[in-house]
C-alpha cells in the first residue's frame, strides 16, 4: 500500500509526493481507487472516515484564494452550522457582483452584492457573516432545511435580530421560505435531527412542544427533547446524541442504560414517552408517532 506525505491539514501535495519518489501515476491511481480526493491541481485530500463537513472544510481551505469570499453552504461549514442534506460537492463563493455567477464541477460562484457587514474572517478565511450565511442557505432549500440552519445559527450565537434584518433587508429567491422558517426558529433545538423533527411537526400543524425542558424527578435533573404540557415527552434518538452525552470513562452502552433509567423516571411521573430515530425522520413517520398520543392525552 502506497504511503503519501501528508501535511498538518491532511492534505497531500504533488511536489511533496514527487520528492519522496512517487509519480503522477501513483497519484492518479490513488484517486481512482478512492484513497485520495483531488481538490485542485496538485493538491489532494487523504481519504479518511472523517465527516463530510470536515472534508469539505479542507477542500475550502485548499482551493480558495486569500481574497475569495466563501459563502452559502461552504460558509455554513466554516461557521459550524448544522445543515440538512447540504450540497457539499462544490465550494461555494460569492463574487460581490450582481451578475456573473457560474458553476463548475468543483466550484459554485454565486453572483450577489457584498458590503462590509456581509463579510467576516474565520481562521484566515473570508466568509459571509453568520446571519448572511444562514439566510443564504435557508433561501436555497425547503422549509425543513431552512429551519435546521436557523436553529443551528441561533444555537451557536448568531443573534435573532441580525437574522431578521438579513431576511428583511433584500429580496431574493426563496425569501418566503426563509421568513416562514425564521418565525419558528429556536436555538434551544440541540441537533439537526431535533430541528428536522420539529419542522415535520410544524408542517403537520401539531402543537408546538417546549424544547429542552428541565424536570427534577426523585432528586435527578432530567431534560427532555420535546415536551407537551408535562404529559407527553418526545425523544429523538441518534448515535451522535449518545456520543454527545458521553462523560469521561463512559461507554455508549453506559449512556444507553442511563437513558433507560431516565425514561423510567419520566414514565413513573405519569408522562408518556415516545421515541423515534433517523430512518423514521427520513420516512416522515414522526407525526404519525406523535399525533395519536397528543389526541389521547388531549395535549394542546
Give, rounded to a whole angstrom, the gap between the first and last alpha carbons of the chain.
62
Instruction: For residue 128, give the DSSP letter.
Output: E
User: What is the reported pLDDT for 294?
Assistant: 94
Residue with cell 419520566: 266
- CATH 3.40.960 residue ranges of the chain are 192-297
133 touches 72 (CB < 8 A): yes
What's the average model confidence in pLDDT over 93-122? Answer: 90
15-19, 55-59, 250-254: least confident range: 250-254
What is the sign of the dihedral through the CA atoms of 147, 184, 288 and 235? positive
Residue with cell 438579513: 166
**Whole-angstrom distance, CA of residue 138 vs CA of residue 158:** 14
**Whole-angstrom distance, CA of residue 84 vs CA of residue 75:** 15
Give the pLDDT band of residue 151 (cuts 50, 70, 90): very high
CATH architecture of structural domain 192-297:
3-Layer(aba) Sandwich (3.40)
DSSP assignment of 205-225, as one string? Answer: TPPPPEEEEEEEETTEEEEEE
What is the sign of the dihedral through the CA atoms of 68, 73, 77 and 81? positive
Strand partners, 232: 228, 272
Give the pLDDT band of residue 54 (cuts 50, 70, 90): confident
User: What is the reported pLDDT for 291?
Assistant: 96
CA atoms within 13 A on the CB side of 153: 30
- What lies within 8 Å, CB to CB, of 126 at 6+ separation is 66, 67, 68, 69, 70, 119, 120
Condensed to tens digits (0 to 9), the pLDDT of residues 174-209 reads 999 999 999 999 999 999 999 999 999 999 999 999
User: What is the reported pLDDT for 144?
Assistant: 98
Q: Count of H helices and E strands in the chain? A: 13, 13
Amino acid at each position: 500500500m502506497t504511503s503519501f506525505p501528508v501535511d498538518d491539514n491532511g492534505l497531500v501535495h504533488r511536489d511533496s509526493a514527487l520528492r519522496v519518489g512517487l509519480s503522477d501515476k501513483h497519484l492518479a491511481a490513488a484517486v481512482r481507487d478512492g484513497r485520495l480526493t483531488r481538490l485542485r491541481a496538485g493538491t489532494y485530500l487523504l481519504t479518511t472516515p472523517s465527516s463530510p463537513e470536515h472534508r469539505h472544510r479542507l477542500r475550502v481551505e485548499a482551493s480558495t484564494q486569500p481574497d475569495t469570499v466563501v459563502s452559502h453552504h461552504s460558509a455554513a461549514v466554516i461557521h459550524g452550522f448544522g445543515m440538512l442534506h447540504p450540497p457539499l460537492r462544490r465550494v461555494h463563493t460569492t463574487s460581490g457582483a450582481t451578475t456573473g455567477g457560474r458553476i463548475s464541477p468543483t466550484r459554485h460562484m454565486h453572483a450577489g452584492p457584498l458590503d462590509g457587514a456581509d463579510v467576516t474572517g474565520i481562521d484566515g478565511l473570508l466568509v459571509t457573516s453568520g446571519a448572511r450565511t444562514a439566510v443564504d442557505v435557508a433561501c436555497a432549500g425547503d422549509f425543513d432545511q431552512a429551519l435546521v440552519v436557523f436553529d443551528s445559527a441561533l444555537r451557536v450565537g448568531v443573534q435573532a435580530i441580525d437574522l431578521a434584518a438579513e431576511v428583511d433587508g433584500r429580496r431574493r429567491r426563496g425569501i418566503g421560505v426563509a421568513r416562514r422558517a425564521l418565525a419558528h426558529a429556536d436555538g434551544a433545538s440541540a441537533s439537526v435531527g431535533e430541528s428536522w423533527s420539529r419542522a415535520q411537526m410544524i408542517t403537520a400543524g401539531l402543537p408546538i412542544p417546549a424544547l429542552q425542558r428541565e424536570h427534577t424527578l426523585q432528586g435527578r435533573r432530567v431534560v427532555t427533547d420535546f415536551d407537551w404540557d408535562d404529559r407527553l415527552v418526545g425523544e429523538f434518538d441518534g448515535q451522535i446524541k449518545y456520543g454527545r452525552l458521553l462523560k469521561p470513562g463512559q461507554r455508549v452502552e453506559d449512556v444507553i442504560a442511563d437513558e433507560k433509567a431516565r425514561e423510567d423516571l419520566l414514565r413513573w411521573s405519569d408522562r408518556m414517552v415516545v421515541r423515534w430515530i433517523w430512518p423514521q425522520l427520513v420516512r416522515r413517520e414522526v407525526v404519525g408517532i406523535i399525533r395519536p398520543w397528543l389526541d389521547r392525552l388531549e395535549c394542546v
